[in-house]
Amino acid sequence: MLPKRLIKAFKTIIMLLLIAVVFNDCRSISKQPTVEQLKSKDAEFWATMGSKNYDEGDFTEAIACFSKALQVKPNFVEAYHKRGESFIQLKEYQKAIDDFSKAIVISPKSPELYNERGVAYSFLKQYQKSIHDFNQAISLDSDHINAYLNRGGSYCNLGLFKKANQDFEHVKKFGANDVNALNKLGIAYHNLGRPYDAISVYNHAITIDPKYLESYYNRGMAYGASKQYGKALEDFNYAIKLKASLSDIYVARGMVFAAKGNLDNMCKDFEQASDLGNCREIEKAKAEDMCH
């Protein structure tokens, strides 16, 4: 028989060990993620996959991924936002509006959501609604250059050219270092029949970023519209050096060759565009017996 003193000490040690085990179990349980945390991680995974597909140009798969994210997390603003952008890429504008509207209910202070919904409305030629959304975006963020630019475009489509010009001047003044905004402004000028203003904007964009392909492509288009064919060819040639896999550049250069009466080079460029997946122009030229 053990002395009573040792037995009592032994019991105390056992009790302390049991308390330690229970404490550690409780602590490990408290570290387990909750159901909401697991759902949030799952939603983030599908949103990340959706963004990856969007960046790769697979908008249908992107929509599927964002939809799965929303099944798990119904109030996921970013998933609605990105799915709406994907719908725009597929020209399903009403579905995009529905997604942006749901996101706005959840996050009513987001200027970008109003801007995006305004863009979708403008594609549906609902210009008054688009202007309302662009106004809202600007009221939430007075520095939102794209909202001014987009609102100017809607004003143009309504024939409100004075208001449009005010917005475009604002973009020129405050978006002076935003190459993307400058290119959008140049396109707006081009569509208004002001190619020289467009060229001036593209020139400025190129001084900011000499490797920005869209600036050369867009300036080439503006040079072509103003019949400065030599300069247009220079820009398209340089754009091809920057990225030779874009069929639209070969089509545009082919059009300039056609304007100059150089049908051989036109056909070569249309054939190159066809090899890259854009066969419309070569088929049209062959149908008109211009290429063989």
Residue 31 has pLDDT above 80, yes or no: no
Q: What values do phi and psi take at 176, rounded to 5? A: -60, -25
Domain boundaries, the chain: 42-108, 176-243, 246-292
Class of domain 176-243 as given by CATH: mainly alpha
85-111 confidence digits (pLDDT tens): 999 999 999 999 999 999 999 999 999
**Per-residue pLDDT band at 263 (split at 50, 70, 90):** very high
Chain segment 36-81, per-residue pLDDT in tens? 554 557 889 999 999 999 999 899 999 999 999 999 999 999 999 9
pTM over 0.75: no
Which residues, at least 6 apart from 177, have a Cβ–Cβ distance to it below 8 Å?
208
Same fold, 42-108 and 176-243: yes
State the Cα torsion 56-57-60-64 to the nearest 10°. Answer: 30
Classified by CATH at the fold level, domain 42-108 comes out as: 1.25.40
Question: What is the pLDDT, as a whole number, of residue 38?
Answer: 46
Q: Which has the closest alpha carbon to 68: 46, 92, 100, 98?
A: 46
* Average pLDDT of the segment spanning 17-33: 47
